[in-house]
Structure 1
Amino acid sequence: MSQSSTPSLYAAREPVFPRRVKGKFRTLKWVIMAITLGIYYLLPWVRWDRGPELPDQAVLVDMAGRRFFFFWIEIWPHEFYFVAGLLIMAGLGLFLFTSALGRVWCGYACPQTVWTDLFILTERWVEGDRNARVRLWNAPWSLNKARLRIIKWTIWLAIGIATGGAWVFYFADAPTLLMNLLTGQAHPVAYMTVATLTATTFLFGGFFREQICIYACPWPRIQSAMMDEETITIGYRDWRGEPRGRGARTPRSGQQPPAFQALERMAAPGTLIAQGAAPVAKGDCVDCMACVNVCPMGIDIRNGQQMECITCGLCIDACDDVMSKLGLPRGLIDYFTLQDEQKERAGGQAKAVWRHILRPRTILYTSMWSAIGVGLLVALFIRADIDISVAPVRNPVYITLSDGTIRNAYDLRLRNKNHEPREFALSYTAHAPLNLHVEGVEGISVTVPADETTQVRLYLDAAAQTEAAEAEHSDVRLWVTDITSGERASAETHFNGVAQDHDQD
C-alpha cells in the first residue's frame, strides 16, 4: 500500500520589507517611539536624594532590600498590593483601549513594535528602502552584501546591548553598575541578564518580527473577546473601492444617486446600463499595493479583518497619499467601526467617534480602572512612615516564672520608612495590668536604622492570680511611637493565661 506524504503544518517565513511612508499615523508612531525609548533608556539615570544608605536613583528595584522606589514613592514587601493593583489596572487599561480602539497598544506602544520600528529604521538607513532591500535579499552573496549585512547586524547588536544594559540599571545604582560592567567587576547575574536581553532583542527585532506577534503573543487571539461591532479599528471600504483597477473613474460624491452607484458597482466591467448608457464606474482602489507594501505584518487589509493586523495606521497613510495624488477622497482605508461601515454602505451617516467610545462596556472598564486607581492613591497617602507587625511565640504559649508570674513572648518587626534613624517607644493597651520589657534593651525604646526593618523580642508579664494571668485570653494592642514625630502605629494580639491549660484538662 502506498502512503501519501503528510502535509507540513508549518510554512516557511516570507520576509517582509515595509516601504517608507509619511503621514499623520507614521508621525505619531515616531513620537511614541521617541518617548517610550527615551523613558526606558534615560530613566535609570535620573537622580533622586534617598539619604546616605541608598543609591540616589529615582527609579530603583532594590532586590536585596525587597523594595521598589519610584521618585517619592517607596513600596515595601508587605505592600505588594500596590504592585498587584497596578497590574490589574494595566490589564483593565488594555481591555479598555482594545474595546474602544482595537489593537492600538500593539500598533503603537508594544515593546515588540517599538523595537521593530527601530530595527527597520536602521535597516532602511543601511540597505535602502523597500525595493533596494528586496533586491539585496534576492541577490547572491557578494562583498557588498556581506558588508551591508555586517554593518546592519552590528548596529542591531549595539541596540540590543543598550537594551539589556538599560534593564539592569533599574536594579542597582546606574553609574556604579556601568563602571563595574565595563571593568569586569559586576556580578555574573548582571552579565547574564544583559546577554539574554541582547540576544532576545537582536533576534525578535531583527529576524522574528511579525512572527512574535502572530505565534508567540497570545493577545491577537484574546482581542476578539474584547472587540465588537462598535470598536474603532482599521478597515477597507470595499463598497467604495471595488471593483478595483486602473483607468478612468466616474466622478462620485453625490453626482449620481446611491442606488445607481450601487448598480454600477455590481455590474460587470464594460457593461452598459441605463441613465445615459454610461460605462460602469470603477472603484476608487487602483490596486497599487501601497497599503500592502508599507504594512509591517505583510498583510493586505483589503481582505478584511485579520488576526495579524496590529492597527498601526501605516496603510491609511499610504492609501491617503495615493488618493490625494489621484484627486479622490481620502479615507478609502481608515479607522471606523463595522457598524458605521454598514450604515455607509447603505448611504447613511457614521456615528460620532465619542458615541462609539462612550458606551456601557468602555464606561464599565473605565469605572473599574478609576476605582482601583483611586483606592491605590488613598492607600498611598494615608499609609504611615512607621509600621509594626506582631507574631506571638507559640512554643511555649507562655511560661511560669518562679514567683508565679505568667510571661508571654512576642516577635515584633518594626519598620522605619524614614531616611534617617528613628527611636521608637513601645507600649500597650489592655484591660488588665501587664508589665512590658524588651529583650536586650534597657527601657522600652528601640532605635531602628533608616529605611530598615528591625526585629525585637518583647515580653508581657502578668502577676500571679491577676485577671490576665487567670484568664484564657486577654486582648492586647501593642503600640509603637516615633519619638521624633509623634507618629504611632499599632497591632492587635492577645495574652495567654493559665486558664487555657485548665480548659484543656
Structure 2
Amino acid sequence: MRGARNPTVPGQPGPSPDDDELYAARPEIYQQSVAGRLRTIKWAILFGCLGIYYFLPFVRWYRGPNLPNQAVLVDLANNRFYFFFIEIWPQEIYYVTGLLVLAALVLFLMNAIAGRVWCGYLCPQTVWTDLFMTVERWLEGDRRERMLADKGPMTAERFLRKVAKHALWLVIAWWTGGAWVLYFADAPTLVRELATFQAPAVAYASIAVLTFTTYALAGLMREQVCLYMCPWPRIQAALTDEYALNVTYRRDRGEPRMSVKAAVRAAAAGEPAGDCVDCRQCVVVCPTGVDIRAGSQMGCIQCGLCIDACNSVMTKVGRPQGLIAYDNDVNIERRAAGLEEIYPIVRVRTVLYAVLIAVVGLVMLYGLWNRSFTDISVIHERNPMFVRLSDGAVRNAYTIRVLNKRSQARLFLLAVDDLPMATRVGAVGSLPSDGPWPLLEVGPDQTRDFVVHVTVPAGAALAASTPMAFRLTELGTGDVAVGQDHFVSR
C-alpha cells in the first residue's frame, strides 16, 4: 500500500516524493473575475439556462378540457409526459430513448469540434458553480480580498459575510430543488401547497435532497466534481482527435517566458524572447486551478476564461492577442514548419456524427408525425382455447384492450378480418349497433378492456389455428388500428 512503507525494514523502500503529492491537501482555489468575449458568452448561457430551468414550469400550454395546461410536465400519476404540443405515453418510451441517443450524439459532435465545450459552458455543474462563485465574489470580494481575509483573523464583518454567502447559497440550492419538483406537478398549485405545508411528503423530501446536493456540489466541492467524480473527462479522451479545437497555449509563440523588460533586453542582445510575460493571469482565472501552459490536462474544462485573461494582458503590453486560443494539435506542428494553419471542422468524424443526428432526429419526427392516437392489443382466452356450441359453431373469447390517446371520448367499430362472412362478433360492454359489428366507446385519455366473443358457424373450412385480425375504425375520422391474433377451431 502506497504511503505505508517502513524505511526501517531492510529491503523495503521509503516513501517517494510522489507519495507526498498524492496525499497532500489540495489547496483552495481563489478564482479571479475576468472580462472578455468568452466570459460574456458564459454569462449569456448561464442566465439563459437558469432562466429556462427556473421558470419553464410556469409556462402554460392549453391542450383542451380534462388535460393539464403546463407546457412541460412529467405526470407520473397518469403516466404521461407533456412537452408543449407533444404527449408521450408509457408505450412510447422509445421516444425518450431516441432523445437520449440524440443527446449522446450531440455531445460526441461537440467534442469532435471543440473538445470539452459542454463542460465549459453548458454542464449543470459548471453553470451552478459559476453562479455560486459569483455570489462569493459579490459578498466577499475578488481573489485578492478573499485571500487576505482568509489569512487574517475572523472578524465580525467577515463572519457576517460568510454567513450571508452560505445563506444565499442555500436559498439558490433550495430554489433549484424546488424548481425540479415543479416539473412533476402543476407548478402554481404545488407552490401554494408547499407554502401552506399541504404538499406531499415526497415533494419536501425531494427538495431537501436536491438542496443538499446542489449546495455541496456547487458551493463546497466545486472543481473536485470535475476532477474526481465526473466520468466524461475519461471518456472524452477516447473520442477526440488531433483536429479538435481545444484551449491551447501556443508554446511556439510564448516560449521562452520572461517579463516585458527582460524581453527588451533579450531582443537587444539578439536572444529569443516569447510573448508570455509569466503573469499567471491564465491560472488565477481558471475555475479548476489549471495552468494551461503545462499542456492539455484533465482538469481543463475548456471554458476559455484563460483566453480572455491572456488577451487582456497582451493588449496591455502591446502584443497580439491569441497567445492562448482555441486551436488544434496539428497547427502547432504546422507553424513550426512554416505552414499555414488549418481548421478542418468538416471531416469524417464530424460528418458521421451529423448524419447520425439527422437520421435519428428524422426518424423520431416521422414517428411523431405519423403516430396513431389509437392502439389495440389482443389477448386470447386460454382456458378454454375454444368452445363448440350445440349447433356445431365454434366460439373463441378474447380480451381487447383499446387505448384512446385523445382528450375526447371516441366511438370505434370493431370488425374481424380473414374469417368467413357469417362470423358473429359480440363484445361485453359495447353500445347498440345497427350493423353486424359491435360499437365500442372509450373515454378521453383512457384505456378500456372489452371481452369479445367471435363465433364461426358450423361447416366453415378452417385450419386448426387461423390467423385473423381485429380492425378498429373510429367513426368520423376513419382512423384505423389493427390487432393480430388466431382463431382456434380444434
Find 1:414's aligned residue among 387, 399, 402: 402
Among candidates 461, 467, 484, match of residue 467 of structure 1: 461
User: For 1:300 and 1:294, how far apart are their aligned partners in 2?
Assistant: 10
Instruction: Name 2:376's counterpart in structure 1.
Output: 388
- Distance of aligned partners of 1:130 and 1:395 in 2 relative to their CA distance in 1, 3 Å threshold: farther
**In structure 2, what is the equivalent of residue 450 of structure 1?**
444
Report the 3-state secondary structure (helix = DSSP H, G, I; strand = E; otherwise coil) of the residue aligned with 2:260. Answer: coil
Is 1:314 matched with 2:327?
no
Give the conservation status (yes or no) of the 8 Å contact 2:404–2:447.
yes
Q: Is the 8 A contact 2:431 2:440 kept in 1?
A: no
Letter of the 2:403 partner, please give it. R
Shift in Å, 1:417: 1.6
| Structure 1 range deviating more: 235-244 or 105-114 | 235-244
Q: Secondary structure at the match of 1:450?
A: coil
Residue 210 of structure 2 aligns with which residue?
197
Q: Report the Cα offset of residue 249 of structure 1.
A: 6.7
Structure 2 distance, partners of 1:365, 1:196, is 37
Maintained 8 Å contact 1:40/1:166: yes
In structure 2, distance between residues paired with 1:298 and 1:250: 27
Aligned length: 471
CA distance in 2, matches of 1:465, 1:250: 107
Displacement of 1:342 after TM fit? 1.0
2:207 matched to 1:215?
no
Quick one: which of 224, 230, 249 aligns to 2:237?
224
Q: How far, CA to CA, are the matches of 2:476 and 2:150 in structure 1?
A: 71
Aligned in 2, Cα 1:412/1:135: closer, same or farther, shift over 3 Å?
farther
Offset of 1:241 from its aligned partner? 0.9
Would the aligned equivalents of 2:467 and 2:484 in 1 still touch at CA under 8 Å? yes
Kindly indicate whether residue 302 of structure 2 is the aligned counterpart of residue 297 of structure 1.
Answer: no
* Aligned residue among 171, 175, 181 for 2:188: 175
Hey, what does 2:334 align to over in structure 1?
A: 343
| Shift in Å, 1:145 | 2.2
**Alignment match, 2:3:** none
**Residue identity in the other structure for 1:472:** A
The structural deviation recorded for 1:449 is 1.6
* Among 139, 156, 159, the residue aligned to 2:172: 159
Provide, for residues 73-119 of structure 1, a one-character-per-residue CA deviation record: whole Å limited to 9, x for no partner. Answer: 11111111111111111111111110111000000000000001110
What is the distance in 1 between the residues matched to 2:165 and 2:368?
A: 47
In the alignment, is residue 329 of structure 1 matched against residue 317 of structure 2? no
Q: Which of 56, 67, 75 is matched with 2:80 structurally?
A: 67
Tell me, in whole angstroms, the C-alpha distance in 2 between the residues paired with 1:231 and 1:209.
26
SS at match of 1:447: strand
Give the whole-Å Cα distance in 1 for the aligned partners of 2:262 and 2:487: 92
Q: What displacement does 1:401 show?
A: 3.4
Q: Is the 8 A contact 2:63 2:85 kept in 1?
A: no
Quick check: 1:249–1:283 contact (8 Å CA) kept in 2?
Answer: no
Provide the alpha-carbon RMSD of the alignment: 1.9
Note the residue ranges of structure 2 that are not aligned, 5 or more in a row: 1-5, 433-437
Confirm or deny: 8 A CA contact 1:249 1:284 kept in the other structure: no
- Contact preservation (8 Å) 2:430, 2:441: no
CA contact (8 A) 2:249 2:325 kept: yes
How far apart, CA to CA, are the structure 2 residues paired with 1:43 and 1:165? 13
Report the equivalent of 1:439.
428
Query: Equivalent of 2:249, from 212, 220, 236?
Result: 236
Contact 1:177 / 1:186 at 8 angstroms: preserved in 2?
Answer: yes
Q: Distance in 2 between matches of 1:473 and 1:459?
A: 16
1:480 matched to 2:466? The reply is no
CA 1:398–1:12 in structure 2 vs 1: closer, same or farther (change >3 Å)?
farther
Looking at structure 1, the residues matched to 483 and 121 of structure 2 have their Cα atoms a distance apart, in angstroms, of 48
**Cα distance in structure 1, aligned partners of 2:179 and 2:390:** 63
In structure 1, distance between residues paired with 2:345 and 2:256: 32
Counterpart of 1:370 (choices 358, 361, 381) is 358
Residue of structure 2 in register with 1:106 after alignment:
119
Shift of 1:278: 3.2
Once residues 462 and 171 of structure 1 are traced to their aligned partners in structure 2, the CA distance between those partners, rounded to angstroms, is 50
The question of 1:13 aligning with 2:13 is answered: no
With structure 2 as the length reference, what TM-score do the two structures score? Answer: 0.92
State the Cα distance separating 1:5 from its structure 2 match: 7.1
Q: Secondary structure at the match of 2:241?
A: coil
Compare 359-368 and 51-60 and name the one that shifted more: 51-60
Structure 2 vs 1, CA of residues 472 and 202 (structure 1 numbering), >3 Å: closer, same or farther?
Answer: same
Q: Deviations over 1:21-50 (max 9, x none)?
A: 000100000011111111111111110112
The DSSP-based 3-state class of the residue aligned with 1:380 is helix
Rounded to whole Å, the distance in 1 between the matches of 2:329 and 2:15 is: 42
Q: Note closer, same or farther for the CA distance 1:161–1:172 as it changes in structure 2 (3 Å cut).
A: same
**Contact 1:422–1:484 under 8 Å retained in 2:** no
Match of 2:160, as an amino acid? R
Once the two structures are superposed, what CA deviation does each residue of 1:288-338 show, in whole Å capped at 9, x if it has no partner? Answer: 010000000111000000011110000000000000011101010000000
Deviations 1:164-191 (A, max 9, x none): 1111111111111111111111111111
CA contact (8 A) 1:290 1:319 kept: yes
Quote the Cα distance in structure 2 between the aligned partners of 1:458 and 1:5: 80
Which of residues 265, 270, 275 in structure 2 aligns to 1:284?
275
Distance (whole Å) between structure 2 residues aligned to residue 5 and residue 315 of structure 1: 36
User: Residue in 2 aligned with 1:51?
Assistant: 64
Task: Give the secondary-structure state (helix, strand or coil) at the position aligned to 1:467.
Answer: coil
Q: Is the 8 A contact 1:249 1:281 kept in 2?
A: no
Distance 2:123 2:260 in 1: 40
Task: Indicate the SS of the match to 2:193.
Answer: helix
Q: Which amino acid aligns with 2:439?
A: S
Cα distance in 2 for residues equivalent to 1:12 and 1:64: 48
Distance in 2 (alpha carbons) for counterparts of 1:238 and 1:364: 32
The one-letter code matched in structure 2 to 1:430 is: D
Q: 1:10 deviation in Å?
A: 4.3
Supply the distance in 1 between the matched residues of 2:234 and 2:155 (Cα, whole angstroms).
42
Q: 1:10 to 1:86 in 2, by over 3 A?
A: farther
Contact 2:431 2:441 in 1 (8 A): no
Residue 435 of structure 2 corresponds to: none
Partner Cα separation in structure 1 for residue 28 and residue 424 of structure 2 = 78
Matches within 5 A, 1:23-172: 23-172=36-185
